[in-house]
C-alpha cells in the first residue's frame, strides 16, 4: 500500500483521474469488464491521512487476528473482505469512486467478533470482541452522518469477514463444526454473486 501511495504521489497525486488510473473502484468501469478494480481499490488511498489511519488500524487489528488465525488465514480474510466490501459498494453505490483498505479492516473486525461469539467461553477473546464490536458500531454511526464515506463497503466487508472466519476456521483457538463452515462458505458465494448481479443490473 505504501509503494502504491508513493507511486500515486509522484504520478499526479490524488485526483479523480489518477485514482482511476491506479485502480480505484468505479462501478461503471467494473460493468465494462474492469473487474480487477474490486481487488485493487483496497490498496489505494486518498491521501496521507487516509493511509496513515488505515495503516495503523490494520496493524493493530491484524496483530490480534494473526495470533488466532495464523498469517495465511489473515491474508485470506483480508482479501475476501476487500472483495466483499467492494462488491457491496458496486451493488449499492453505483456512482461512487471508492478506495481504501477499510473494507478489509472491517472484515478483520468481523472475523474477530465471530470468534467472540463462537468461543464465548474464552473470556479474553469474548471481552476483546465486545470492545471491537463497540468500535465498529461507533464507526458505522459516524459513517451514516459523514458524506463520501462508503457505508455499504464497510458493512459488506464486515459481513464477509464474519462469514469468512466461520468458513476458514481458527485451529489455534478451537474447532468449528463442519456444517457451520460449509454453510458460511455457501452464504459467502451466494452473497458474492448477489452483489455482483445487483451491480451489473
Q: Are 101 and 1 in contact (CB under 8 A)?
A: yes
Active site residue 102: yes
Active-site annotation holder among 32, 102, 148, 177: 102
Can you give 89-135 as a three-state secondary structure string?
HHHHCCCCCECCCHHHHHHHHHHHHHHHHHCCCCHHHHHHHHHHHHH
Angstrom distance (rounded) from CA 141 to CA 192: 25
Q: Are 133 and 74 in contact (CB under 8 A)?
A: no
Nearest Cα to 161, choosing from 50, 59, 83? 83
Active-site annotation holder among 45, 89, 154, 184: 154
Active site residue 154: yes
Positions marked active-site: 102, 154
Amino acid at each position: 500500500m505504501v509503494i502504491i501511495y508513493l507511486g500515486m504521489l509522484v504520478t499526479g497525486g490524488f485526483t479523480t483521474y489518477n485514482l482511476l488510473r491506479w485502480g480505484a473502484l468505479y462501478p461503471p468501469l467494473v460493468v465494462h469488464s474492469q473487474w480487477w478494480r474490486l481487488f485493487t481499490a483496497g490498496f489505494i488511498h486518498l491521501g496521507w491521512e487516509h493511509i496513515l489511519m488505515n495503516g495503523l488500524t490494520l496493524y493493530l487489528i491484524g496483530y490480534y487476528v494473526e495470533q488466532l488465525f495464523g498469517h495465511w488465514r489473515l491474508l485470506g480474510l483480508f482479501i475476501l473482505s476487500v472483495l466483499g466490501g467492494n462488491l457491496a459498494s458496486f451493488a449499492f453505490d453505483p456512482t461512487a469512486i471508492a478506495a481504501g483498505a477499510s473494507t478489509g479492516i472491517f472484515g478483520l473486525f468481523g472475523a474477530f467478533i465471530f470468534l467472540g461469539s463462537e468461543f464465548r467461553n474464552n473470556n479474553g477473546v469474548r471481552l476483546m470482541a465486545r470492545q471491537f464490536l463497540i468500535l465498529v458500531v461507533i464507526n458505522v454511526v459516524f459513517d451514516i452522518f459523514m458524506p463520501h464515506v462508503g457505508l455499504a463497503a464497510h458493512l459488506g466487508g464486515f459481513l464477509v469477514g464474519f462469514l469468512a472466519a466461520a468458513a476458514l476456521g481458527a485451529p489455534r483457538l478451537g474447532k468449528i463444526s463442519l456444517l457451520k463452515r460449509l454453510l458460511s462458505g455457501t452464504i459467502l458465494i451466494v452473497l458474492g454473486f448477489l452483489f455482483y448481479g445487483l451491480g451489473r443490473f
